[in-house]
């Protein structure tokens, strides 16, 4: 399979890449751009560990081919903080110790950012519903809910 040329803008920086048509966005981010904050959990769109923002929308990097992201703006967890200042959602997850092993955390944080972009003041049911595609095998759901509740007040 011959490689295809694509352009991605990732965390504000442009990249021209030659990718295989069957490479996922997650593989390209992790293996070509060394952005390993997006994790591979299930690899089949069930866990949310690979969540990134595509033009501001939360997507599963394991389900999307890199060629489908051609010309798009991608945000990964590495792109959220501004210099030394954590993004308010990152800070809220820290404030509420909303993780244990943290494998799921980048995906949860990016899904939370997308949720608040869509609805800055979601009620608890909406938070639970929106984040239902992100799984935490450590069971930090209570603390995660508290973190998101803090964000809706902060943002
Ligand atoms: S690794 Fe993509 S959804 Fe689980
Ligand atoms: S904190 Fe371990 S999987 Fe969520």
| Model pLDDT for residues 104-122, shown as the tens digit of each residue | 999 999 999 999 999 999 9
141 lines ligand 2 (CB under 6 A): no
107 lines ligand 1 (CB under 6 A): no
Q: With the CA atoms of 134, 145, 58 and 155 taken in that order, what torsion angle do they form, in degrees rounded to the nearest 10?
A: -170
Question: CA-based angle 97:138:110, to the nearest 5?
Answer: 60
Q: Which spans in the chain are helix H? A: 25-27, 88-95, 105-118, 124-130, 141-154
Of 71, 61, 65, nearest in space to 23 by CA: 65
The pTM for the full model equals 0.96
Asked if residue 36 lies in contact with residue 28, where contact means CB atoms within 8 angstroms, the answer is no
For 3-39, the pLDDT digits (tens) are: 999 999 999 999 999 999 999 999 999 999 999 999 9
For a ligand 2 pocket test, name from 93, 104, 131, 139 the mutation site with the most ligand atoms within 8 angstroms of its C-beta. Answer: 104
For a ligand 2 pocket test, name from 47, 48, 102, 112 the mutation site with the most ligand atoms within 8 angstroms of its C-beta. Answer: 102
Does 155 have pLDDT greater than 60?
Answer: no
């Amino acid at each position: 399979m011959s490689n295809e040329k694509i352009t991605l803008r990732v965390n504000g920086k442009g990249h021209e890449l030659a990718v295989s048509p069957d490479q996922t966005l997650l593989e390209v981010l992790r293996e070509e751009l060394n952005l390993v904050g997006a994790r591979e959990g299930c690899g089949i769109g069930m866990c949310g560990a690979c969540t990134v923002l595509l033009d501001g929308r939360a997507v599963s990097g394991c389900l999307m081919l890199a060629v489908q992201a051609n010309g798009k703006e991608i945000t990964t967890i590495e792109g959220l903080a501004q210099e030394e200042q954590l993004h308010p959602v990152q800070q809220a997850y820290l404030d509420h110790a909303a993780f244990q092993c943290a494998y799921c955390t980048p995906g949860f944080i990016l899904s939370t950012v997308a949720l608040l972009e869509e609805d800055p003041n979601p009620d608890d049911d909406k938070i639970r519903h929106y984040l239902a595609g992100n799984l935490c095998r450590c069971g930090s759901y209570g603390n995660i809910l508290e973190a998101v509740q803090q964000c809706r007040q902060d943002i």
